[in-house]
Structure 1
Amino acid sequence: MSLSASAVAPAPAAPTAPERPLVLVAGAGRLPELVAASLERSGRPFRVLAIRGFAEGPMRARAKASVDLLDVAGVLKILDAWGPASVVPAGGVSRPSPAAILNAAAALRNREVLRAMANGGDDRLLRGALSLLEERGHSVVGVHDVAPDLLSPEGQLGRHAPDEAAALSIATGRALLGALSPYDVGQAAVVAALRAVAVEGPEGTDRMLARARALGRRPFGLGRAQPGTVLVKLAKEGQDLRVDLPAIGPRTVTNAAAAGCAGLAIQAGLTLIIDRAATVAAADRAGLFVVGLRIDG
């Protein structure tokens, strides 16, 4: 005797495993809030792990746990318990000395990673810290991987566009930063035509712009910066973008204007714009252009 198809009960659908949450490691500044908002828009589940002394109030309030910056064992214990899909570092921290990290991580007995952390530049130091997490099986991804809507698009962002003089400065800046990239210097330069006015070092973009303001003018702060002066900011070759993604914001625009810049040229797809609407509005008010550069390879 055979059963008709209608008499056979359909097999129950296999339950769908819930998506494992990301862990957003929140440091200082607004970036963790912006990343959290982006994740909420995309529907990605996440938990917040706040860094004490760095995370801002809104992120501390929604954090599931808080840790000290150098509490490596504590971080690993929390991550092992949570089992996240990936870990996303976001926000600023004061980079500790290699000796401090060596002391905090001594129990892990990873001599090769610790040696790399102690004997390299900032990028190598931070990559070493991430390696400690990855060796315990935790995937570490960058903001650009989980919140691409926070990155600069290609092309003109505001009302103003670069003129011929600025276009020459942009080309010079791209060539300059490309040549310096292997040497682990900064991500930015202020360029006027074929002349490099200032190159970013460990002090960061804002202080570099302050130097450019002084260097680009006559004594006593008189005179004008050279026409076509531009802030160019690009990711470095081999840079670990998970911890050191190029970024600009309204303050960058204000400081660039004070330095006599005609505009900002940034790498499309790899430069964070903190509060894009406010950044573009500040540039429009100051008469500066902001352009996202497509850089292949």
Structure 2
Amino acid sequence: MSASPKPPEGGPAGPEAPAPGAPLAIICGGGAFPLAVAQAARQAGRRVVLFPIRGFADPWVEAWPHAWIHIGRFGLLTRELRRRGCRDVVFIGNVLRPRVRDIRLDWTTLTLLPRVFRMLRGGDDHLLTSVGRLFEEAGFRLVGAHEIAPEILIPAGRLGAVAPDAGQMEDIELGRRVLAITGPLDIGQGLVVMNRHIVAMEAAEGTDLMLARVAELRAIGRIKMPTRCGVLVKRPKEGQDRRLDLPSLGVRTVEGAARAGLAGIAVEAGGVIVSDVEALLRAADAAGVFIHAFARDEAGDA
């Protein structure tokens, strides 16, 4: 047996590389990212099998080779992966954390139930890393969506017509530093800064609902800053397995930032994914919102 490949940053060593021509398995949540990854893999000449998660994946998956799956049926899924000849596995798309009573267990998962309970006791990074470890122990190799479709990674620099000013750059730097501290605590991947004041942090609600909360705080007078003040800052958590979960940015987030009265959005270049960068920039320019992508190794990281 050949040596295992060097694992991507943040992840444990995986199994031996698959045979040439083996199909790529994409475990699909909702949204446009699974389609972007599937198309990139096919354009690169690789066969693809989608495993859409019931209740989350979108109907377009029916046009691709696919097998619907339920959360909690780990044994059935791994048997289907092997039957299809899949060794490499990508996780991509929106999936909400399940409640225990909503998980439809098969016998394999029942035997893992104590471990499942431990997986659910912690933040999202803890949960996803634990799920990824199960797949690796079963003989599969985890591959980051950005490794298959590097074009979904947001590039560095100013990305639209509007640029942040000096004060907004200070807010961005503060946000980056705070996220570098809170990331290892598995809290969230985003926050809102206004005039060097943290006014909101992302938790279980996600970015869009956090922005809605900021808009509500403005409406009721708890935030008295003028409009076009403040920055949404997003970046991956320090030390997280980037194969399993990268923060995303889309038109809805731009619209939410505009409704919240923010001046712009700052994200880590190469650490945030976007399914349609042209649509993103059109929305940002129309709303007068800047999008700035900072380098990961800029001064200020913890």
Q: What TM-score does the superposition give when structure 2 sets the normalisation length?
A: 0.84
Structure 2 distance, partners of 1:278, 1:244, is: 22
Question: In the alignment, what sits opposite 2:185?
Answer: 183
8 A contact 1:102–1:118 mirrored in 2:
no
Task: Show the 5 A alignment for 1:39-188.
Answer: 39-98=41-100, 103-104=105-106, 109-110=111-112, 113-114=115-116, 116-188=118-190
Farther off after superposition, 117-126 or 168-177:
117-126
8 A contact 2:123–2:187 mirrored in 1:
no
8 A contact 1:234–1:271 mirrored in 2:
yes
Q: What is the deviation of 1:107?
A: 5.1
Question: In the alignment, what sits opposite 1:271?
Answer: 272
Q: What is the deviation of 1:276?
A: 1.1
| Residues 111/207 of structure 1: CA separation in 2 closer, same or farther (3 Å cut) | closer
8 A contact 2:249–2:272 mirrored in 1:
yes
| Residues 103/81 of structure 1: CA separation in 2 closer, same or farther (3 Å cut) | closer
Q: How many residues are treated as equivalent by the alignment?
A: 280
Question: In the alignment, what sits opposite 1:236?
Answer: 237
SS at match of 1:247: coil
CA radius of gyration, larger in: 1
Task: Show the 5 A alignment for 1:12-23.
Answer: 18-23=20-25
Instruction: Among all aligned residue pairs of Structure 1 and Structure 2, give the percentage whose two residues are the same amino acid.
Output: 39
Question: In the alignment, what sits opposite 2:14?
Answer: none
| Residues 121/224 of structure 1: CA separation in 2 closer, same or farther (3 Å cut) | closer
Farther off after superposition, 30-39 or 190-199:
30-39
State the AA in 1 paired with 2:272.
T
8 A contact 1:189–1:200 mirrored in 2:
yes
Q: What is the deviation of 1:229?
A: 0.8
Question: In the alignment, what sits opposite 2:290?
Answer: 289
8 A contact 2:71–2:104 mirrored in 1:
no
| Residues 92/178 of structure 1: CA separation in 2 closer, same or farther (3 Å cut) | same
State the AA in 1 paired with 2:211.
L
8 A contact 1:117–1:128 mirrored in 2:
yes
Structure 2 distance, partners of 1:87, 1:190, is: 34
State the AA in 2 paired with 1:207.
L
Q: Residue 212 of structure 1 is aligned with which of 203, 206, 214?
A: 214
Moved over 6 A (4+): none
Structure 2 residues without counterparts, runs of 5 or longer: 1-18
| Residues 191/109 of structure 1: CA separation in 2 closer, same or farther (3 Å cut) | same
Farther off after superposition, 102-111 or 87-96:
102-111
Q: Do residues 245 (structure 1) and 243 (structure 2) align? A: no
Structure 2 distance, partners of 1:64, 1:213, is: 40
CA-based RMSD of the aligned residues comes to: 2.4
Q: What TM-score does the superposition give when structure 1 sets the normalisation length?
A: 0.85
State the AA in 1 paired with 2:159.
L
| Residues 228/167 of structure 1: CA separation in 2 closer, same or farther (3 Å cut) | farther
Structure 1 distance, partners of 2:236, 2:211, is: 18
| Residues 287/189 of structure 1: CA separation in 2 closer, same or farther (3 Å cut) | same
Q: What is the deviation of 1:281?
A: 0.5
Q: What is the deviation of 1:64?
A: 2.8
Structure 2 distance, partners of 1:27, 1:214, is: 29
Structure 1 residues without counterparts, runs of 5 or longer: 1-16
| Residues 218/64 of structure 1: CA separation in 2 closer, same or farther (3 Å cut) | closer
Deviations 1:26-60, CA, capped at 9 Å, x for gaps:
22111111111222333333221222232211112
